[in-house]
């Protein structure tokens, strides 16, 4: 389980709220590992947030660098080195230029992975993702997990390119699990089938902000309300009506989306 990412509205939480959320999530997760997003524009602040996450019981942290006036790959490497030296739990390197405006090249990512042993996973979200995933896989000199994000928008192609799974906020993770299981069996016909069924929802969730995703989670009974933290906007009546029609198109009237999905045909 990953918390305090983009969907978690981490940039709008107070430090006290962040601490409360980490404690609550780890308690609720039980034996399931919890990875905590700890990115900050300052290296010291990122180290402090990462140390807090570790002290509260996190199994790992997810970190992405922030934009600087003058791009500097050396500083990015140092950023990850300092974080790694400040904690003893694994690091997920997140490559998400859509939110950070930091474009990390394949050589930079593989250098970080190859020289910092505690970087245990790469979250690849720089489009076009399939080619970059394949290049990272080829460039690392040790086993490292590579997961995809972006709501699984390119999930079929990312799995074909060698990614190990997904770390994303798509509101129907059961479908993504089914795709990963089919990939491990080499059954890409099944992967395509599930992907195509859920693709309309995956695409609809891609609209700016988190309002649509939060509303789907509310429809699934997972959260009490879909209010987006100010100044973010809530879902509009028009978008809500379209979403309800889309859910009906995908699932019909016989599927209870408040339950764990077990059928994907």
- Tokens for 209? 């902000």
* pLDDT one digit per residue (tens) for the chain, 265 residues: 999 988 888 889 998 999 999 999 999 999 999 999 999 999 999 999 999 999 999 999 999 999 999 989 999 999 999 999 999 999 999 999 998 999 999 999 999 999 999 999 999 999 999 999 999 999 999 999 999 999 999 999 999 999 999 999 999 999 999 999 999 999 999 999 999 999 999 999 999 899 999 999 999 999 999 999 999 999 999 999 999 999 999 999 889 999 999 988 8
Q: What is the pLDDT of residue 4?
A: 94
CA distance 205 to 194: 17
pLDDT computed for residue 177 by the predictor: 97
Chain-centroid distance, C-alpha 92:
10
Q: What's the confidence (pLDDT) of residue 254? A: 86
What is the pLDDT at residue 11?
84
pTM: 0.93
Distances (CA, A) of 183 to 32, 177, 213: 23, 10, 26
The sign of the dihedral angle between the CA atoms of 50, 48, 64, 114 is negative
**Contact indicator for 86, 116 with CB cutoff of 8 Å:** no
pLDDT of residue 186: 96
- Residue 91 three-state SS: strand
Return the axis-axis angle of helices 43-55 and 15-29, rounded to nearest 10°: 40
* pLDDT at residue 7, as a whole number: 83
Say what the pLDDT of residue 253 is: 87
Position 130 scores a pLDDT of 97
94 secondary structure, DSSP code: E
Tell me how far apart the alpha carbons of residues 26 and 21 are, in angstroms, rounded to a whole number.
Answer: 8
pLDDT at 36: 97
Outline where the chain has alpha helix (H). 15-29, 43-55, 73-86, 97-100, 106-115, 129-139, 155-160, 173-184, 188-204, 211-219, 237-251
């Amino acid at each position: 389980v990953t918390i305090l990412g983009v969907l978690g509205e981490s940039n709008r939480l107070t430090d006290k709220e962040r601490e409360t959320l980490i404690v609550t999530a780890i308690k609720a997760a039980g034996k399931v590992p919890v990875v905590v997003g700890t990115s900050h524009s300052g290296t010291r602040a990122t180290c402090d947030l990462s140390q807090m996450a570790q002290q509260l019981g996190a199994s790992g942290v997810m970190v992405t660098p922030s934009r600087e006036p003058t791009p500097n790959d050396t500083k990015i490497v140092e950023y990850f080195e300092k974080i790694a030296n400040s904690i003893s739990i694994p690091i997920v390197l997140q490559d998400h230029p859509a939110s950070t405006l930091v474009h990390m090249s394949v050589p930079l990512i593989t250098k970080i992975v190859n020289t910092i042993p505690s970087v245990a996973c790469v979250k690849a979200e720089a489009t076009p993702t399939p080619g970059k995933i394949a290049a990272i896989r080829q460039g690392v000199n040790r086993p490292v997990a590579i997961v995809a994000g972006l709501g699984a928008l390119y999930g079929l192609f990312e799995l074909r390119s060698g990614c190990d799974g997904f770390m994303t906020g798509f509101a129907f993770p059961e479908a993504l699990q089914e795709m990963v299981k089919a990939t491990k069996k080499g059954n890409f016909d099944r992967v395509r089938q599930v992907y195509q069924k859920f693709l309309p929802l995956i695409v609809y969730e891609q609209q700016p902000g988190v309002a649509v995703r939060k509303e789907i989670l509310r429809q699934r009974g997972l959260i009490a309300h879909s209010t987006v933290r100010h100044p973010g906007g809530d879902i509009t009546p028009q978008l809500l009506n379209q979403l309800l029609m889309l859910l009906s198109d995908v699932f019909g009237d016989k599927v209870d989306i408040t339950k764990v999905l077990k059928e994907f045909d």
